[in-house]
Amino acid sequence: MSFNQEFDQHGIWRKQFALRLKLLSEWLTDHDLMESGVRERLDQLHSQVKNDKIMVAFVAEFSRGKSELINAVFFAGYGRRIMPASAGRTTMCPTELGYDADVPPCLRLLPIETRLQPQSLVDWRNVPDKWERIDLDVNDPKQLARAIQKVAEVRRVPQSEAAALGFWSDDVPEDNPLPGADGLIEVPKWRHALINMAHPLLKQGLVILDTPGLNAIGAEPELTVSLLPQAHAVVFILAADTGVTKSDLTIWRQHLAVLGEGRESRLVVLNKIDTMWDALSSPEQVQLQIASQRTDSAEILGLAPSQVLAVSAQKGLLAKVHRDKQLLEASKLMELESALGVDLLGQRRKILRAAVAKGIESLRTETGRMVHTRARDLVEQVQELEGLRGKNAGVIKQMRLRIEQEQADFDASGAKIQAVRSVHLRLLKDLFAMLSISHLKTEVATLGKALKQPGIKLGVRRAYDHTFDRLRTDLVKTDHMAGEIQSMLEGSFKNLNAEYGFSLQAPSPPRLGHYVQELDLIEKSHLQYLSLGNALRLAQPEFAERLARALMSRLRGVYDTAVNEVELWNKSAAAQLDAQLRERRRNFTRRIEAVSRIQQAAGGLDDRIRELQAHQDDLNQLDAKLAELTDHLLAAPEQEQSDEAVAA
């Protein structure tokens, strides 16, 4: 199955999931089960699936055919090239292709001069008027391609300006571009490009990141320490006839090989195999040469041979446009699409569905607990009323007084329940303080100073080590604090259950220790800039400033995610307690109403018992329906299709 087909199926599942979640939400509301904790879980599940993005980053040195490969895999349906793919440097700035329904189809371009200002790329995304915007007509391939051609625009600037922008360094002359006859340096006109268009794959959550060559990558630390590490797959493109060149190896070692342990997320493409189709060599000899290049490249890059694929993007695009099956097969493009679809997308779907399954299980538990609480209250009411058979009016009146006294005692116990809340909130306050952005800024302040000091930064590696050690210690400490709060909750809930007959159960605590691994990945992605080879680049104050901003932006994302997890845990515990308090108060009201009706009518007792028993049957059906609806949420499209085939 190709990447496009796999992604289509993934999109079908997401749409079906959203529809089923809406049906479940309406059903819960209709049956008075939409408590705040349940609503929180529903919102989280909806957001998780709706906003799930799959980013595929394409990385290569110039003239490897990267943009042509993007055209062949994703945009052949337009019948022409969409991304600029002529000879020479065509992608001069990092370009993201995605879809946001709230933004009209457009190309947005951030001027390169913004590098001279303190804001990070994340900050600039929130300042739309600073981007140049060009509207796109997605139904006009020519206009689309013409507009997107702007990502290749350049400027010619004096050497001093090129140095300030990060494209020239007297200390590393071998990395500098060649000046023109007029002494001016060619630099990209744009710092970053965002393309928003309603392509079917982009609408389903695919994000494509097209990156420029080595010189431009290294000059934008936010790209290498933030965007690339967050990509779910990295496709690294080489030229089939040359294999791994020195500059290719530099990109790999400095920017890709340190992105984490998930080697399966990397694919290497030996592009332009058509340059090796030699009329003087037999097809077998050509295939042997290609196989040899694959093996050698895999060995140099430290990958399994299966992760190195050989294709011809240009022939693959041509074959798709002209529907030439034979040429498409020769291009080997479908092998790459299959690898992207089965390996990348298959893994991503498993991760997402595992997270969704966990959320659905929590939703089912939380809702099921409310149903069981109501069922238990009904059983107690039936037993209470059964005890009134044959009793006189005095006994019935006495029962009413007893229920009213129980209600008064329960209302008076609010102080004890409030005390549980107060202790919980006080402990949470300390936990949130440890995860606050102000605390994070304090912890990173020393490192920031080390990065911003002038000249060669001899102590910056030590500052990095100390900062990340402190951050890791903080996260381990917050994980321990969460464990203590969980123990307090479990003890308090146990006491309340024993005293008031509640069925409270502390929700699963957040796994804050998990974020230590995130810190490890961030640290690894920064280490490339602390090597001796990058000491001179790091000595440039503008570059060091950009690196510091990129680091803070990435760390803020980790801490925000951790805070969201703690908040969900807190809301789940509080909502559960609120729900049981409401149910208990409703129960008192229903019991008093039942006794009042019995006092007023002699035959009211049997009628009320029958009503309660009918409610018990309804609750049993509710429980079964809840299981059915939540099971339905987990069903995969392919599973349903097979079920329908069996039924047919």
pLDDT at 170 (0 to 100): 73
Q: Which of 261, 209, 222, 265 shows the shortest CA–CA distance to 518?
A: 261
Q: Give whole-number Cα distances, 10 to 16, 241, 270, 335, 629, in Å.
A: 10, 36, 28, 19, 20
pLDDT at 385: 79
Q: Are 341 and 8 in contact (CB under 8 A)?
A: no
Cα 383 from Cα 619, distance rounded (Å):
17
Q: What is the dihedral of CA 595, 597, 603, 606, to 10 degrees?
A: -50
DSSP characters over 628-646: HHHHHHH--HHHHHHHHHH
pTM higher than the cut 0.85: no
Answer whether 293's CB lies under 8 Å from 310's CB.
yes
As to burial, measured by CB atoms within 10 angstroms (0-12 exposed, 13-18 middle, 19+ buried), residue 526 is buried
Nearest to 73 by CA among 21, 7, 19: 7
What pLDDT is stored for residue 641 in this prediction? 46
Two structure tokens written together for 383: 């037993």
pLDDT at 646: 40
**DSSP string for 275-341:** GG--TTS-HHHHHHHHHHHHHHHHHHHT--GGGEEE--HHHHHHHHHHT-HHHHHHHTHHHHHHHII
Q: What is the pLDDT of residue 340?
A: 81
User: Which pLDDT score, from 0 to 100, does residue 75 have?
Assistant: 87
What is residue 533's predicted lDDT score, i.e. its pLDDT?
Answer: 57
- The stretches in the chain having pLDDT less than 70 are 1-2, 86-91, 171-172, 175, 214-219, 224-225, 258-263, 390, 392, 455-458, 528-529, 531-537, 600-604, 635-648
Exposed e or buried b per residue across 35-54, where buried means at least 16 C-beta atoms within 10 angstroms of its C-beta: bebbebbbebbeeebeebeb
Task: Return the pLDDT at 324.
Answer: 94
Name the 3-class secondary structure at 104.
Answer: coil
User: How many angstroms from the chain centroid is the CA of residue 378?
Assistant: 43
What is the per-residue pLDDT across 85-124, written as a single tens digit (0 to 9) for each? 765 555 578 899 999 888 899 999 999 999 888 788 888 8
Reduced to 3 states (helix: H, G, I; strand: E, B; else coil), residue 87 is: coil
pLDDT at position 601 is 62
Distance between CA atoms of residues 305 and 295, nearest Å: 6
pLDDT for position 645: 42
Per DSSP, 243 falls in state B
